[in-house]
């Protein structure tokens, strides 16, 4: 970390396939030479954040995003604690960044998880990176939680889906947040639309207040398809670039 300037932290929210939007934001921050000193991520935000913290940038990060598909992230499992396992996702990440520890990362990074016995937020910053990211991405009820240090850990977005406070605790003077959920501003339609809207609002409320970030970049995505369909990665990355470019005047003013 450089001295004599404000230390910048990045808070990346969860959001399934919408996580590709984080990549578009990071492309713009890199192009504009915005320094990143700390990263915290929940769920999909932990996956992108870990890769970036490990030194995967630019075209390599875009390519990794394009290569990450359900077929190399999940496999069906005996329906005891989940319907699928994210063991393949863990292996996929290891292939990309190596079986490294948090201490090996270029940028200090935190993966958010939830203790399924207590509902406690568990912030992982030590040990192996790939299992921590796997746990952070494991949506309970669908994906099998991960047993780590005697705890059953699952998706951190349940407790905090926008980890602004975590990045501040890590030492950031300025926090840039990327939110993959925002209020729709219109009434949902049909049973499915109402259900998805309810989930989106719960995830918004589960995160830190977006206004507590110095700059919050919210990506205007809605609907179940944008959470599940990885075919929408290009659109999500394009939206990330667009919204980051619009936010750059505010970011420059802060730095």
- Could you give the residue numbers annotated as active site? 43, 155
Neighbouring-strand partners of residue 151: 148
Helices (H) and strands (E) in the chain, counts: 9, 10
Distance of CA 33 to the CA centre of its chain: 21
Among 31, 71, 33, 29, smallest CA distance to 48 is for 29
- Compute the distance between CA of residue 216 and CA of residue 108 in angstroms, rounded to an integer: 20
- Compute the distance between CA of residue 93 and CA of residue 106 in angstroms, rounded to an integer: 16
- Compute the distance between CA of residue 238 and CA of residue 53 in angstroms, rounded to an integer: 21
């Amino acid at each position: 970390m450089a001295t004599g300037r404000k230390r910048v932290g990045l808070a990346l929210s969860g959001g399934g396939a919408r996580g590709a939007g984080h990549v578009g934001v990071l492309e713009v921050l890199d192009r504009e030479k915005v320094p990143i000193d700390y990263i915290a991520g929940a769920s999909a935000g932990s996956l992108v954040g870990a890769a970036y913290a490990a030194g995967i940038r630019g075209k390599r990060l875009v390519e990794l995003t394009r290569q990450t598909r359900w077929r190399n992230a999940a496999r069906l499992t005996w329906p005891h604690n989940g319907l699928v396992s994210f063991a393949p996702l863990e292996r996929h990440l290891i292939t990309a960044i190596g079986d490294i520890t948090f201490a090996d990362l270029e940028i200090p990074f935190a993966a958010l998880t939830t203790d399924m016995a207590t509902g406690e937020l568990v912030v992982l910053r030590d040990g192996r990176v790939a299992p921590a990211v796997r746990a952070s991405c494991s949506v309970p009820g669908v994906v099998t939680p991960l047993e780590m240090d005697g705890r059953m850990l699952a998706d951190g977005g349940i407790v905090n889906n926008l980890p602004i406070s975590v990045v501040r605790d890590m030492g950031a003077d300025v926090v840039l947040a990327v939110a993959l959920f925002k209020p729709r501003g219109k009434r949902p339609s049909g049973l499915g639309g109402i259900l998805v809207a309810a989930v989106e609002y719960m995830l918004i409320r589960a995160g830190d207040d977006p206004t507590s970030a110095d700059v919050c970049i919210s990506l205007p995505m809605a609907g179940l398809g944008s959470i599940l369909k990885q075919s929408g990665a290009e659109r999500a990355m394009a939206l990330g670039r667009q919204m980051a470019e619009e936010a750059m005047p505010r970011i420059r003013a802060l730095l």
